[in-house]
Amino acid sequence: MIDRLRDVAVMTGRNLVHVRREPLQLSDVTIQPVLFTLLFVYVFGAGVSLPNGTYAEFAVAGLLALNLTTSSMGTAVGLSTDLNGGVIDRFRSLPIWRPSVLVGRSIADVFQAALCSAIVAATGFVVGWRFHEGVARALAAFGVFLLFSYAMSWACACLGIVSKGPESASGFGLIVLFPLAFVSNALVPTENMPTVIRTIANWNPVSAVTAAARDLFGNPNPSATIAAWPMQHPIAASLLWSFGIIAVFAPLAAVLYRRRTTD
């Protein structure tokens, strides 16, 4: 067990060192969150009317979910790059625990997600966002986000393993992740959406995570009036979604990785 933990720590450190050497890899969790926060608050904020609170307080939880969902595509691209660049063949020649490559990648991605969350929150404070339910509940909200980000990293790991190259991983990731992020309550309330789209949005895991964070932050949460079970129990729904995604995609990623790296 100690040897496995050491292997995971080494692989996590490897991924973090790569980021330090190529800081532009962090653009999706550093520059993008600032741009998205300013863009959506000052552009969408002028066209969205909320009965209680400001659009900034409504939007920041959604922007956290949006940025963490779309940035998880980096897992797919990074794994695909390693698999197609020959470095995994080098790892196979070493006496390491084979799944440590995947576990180390997922843990490194959590650190990047934490950085992304901090940047969105800091930018949110600048544009007027505040939390109103105390520090403990605010930290719980960030914990919900990081758990969901960890779950998404395993789903994207599967995508990276089956992709033929980083370009295909990135292209297909955009097709999947952007609808997942935008067909939700992240940036606008869902009440006025067409019926089919509204139903999808209300059961979207991104909507559950966003609604849970708004509840924990004490921010405006129009979804609380919706009868759908995830909107009435957003914290439970977000946890179920996150653990369910991990339960499905973590073992699947291990199987796919074993097949991909077996002669």
Q: What single string gives the DSSP state of each residue in 137-187?
A: HHHHHHHHHHHHHHHHHHHHHHHHHH-SSHHHHHHHHHHHHHHHHHSSSSS
Please give the full DSSP string across 2-62, using - where no structure is assigned: HHHHHHHHHHHHHHHHHHHH-GGGGHHHHHHHHHHHHHHHHHGGGT---SSS-HHHHHHHH
pLDDT, residue 105, reads: 87
Percent of the chain at pLDDT exceeding 90: 49
Amino acid, single-letter form, for residue 125: F
C-beta of residue 148 within 8 angstroms of C-beta of residue 205 = yes
Angle at 178 between CA 177 and CA 182, to 5 degrees: 120
Q: For residue 203, count other CB atoms closer than 10 A to its CB.
A: 16
Q: How far, in Å, are 116, 172, 193 from residue 16 at the CA level?
A: 15, 25, 41
Give the model confidence (pLDDT) of 148-167 as tens digits: 999 999 999 999 898 888 88
Interatomic CA distance for residues 133 and 247, integer angstroms: 31
pLDDT in tens, the chain (263 residues): 777 788 788 888 877 776 666 655 566 667 888 888 888 888 877 667 777 778 889 999 999 999 999 888 888 888 888 888 777 777 777 777 877 888 888 898 898 899 889 999 999 999 999 999 999 999 999 999 999 999 999 999 999 898 888 888 888 777 888 899 999 999 989 988 999 999 999 999 999 999 999 999 999 999 999 999 999 999 999 999 999 999 999 999 999 988 888 75
pLDDT, residue 171, reads: 80
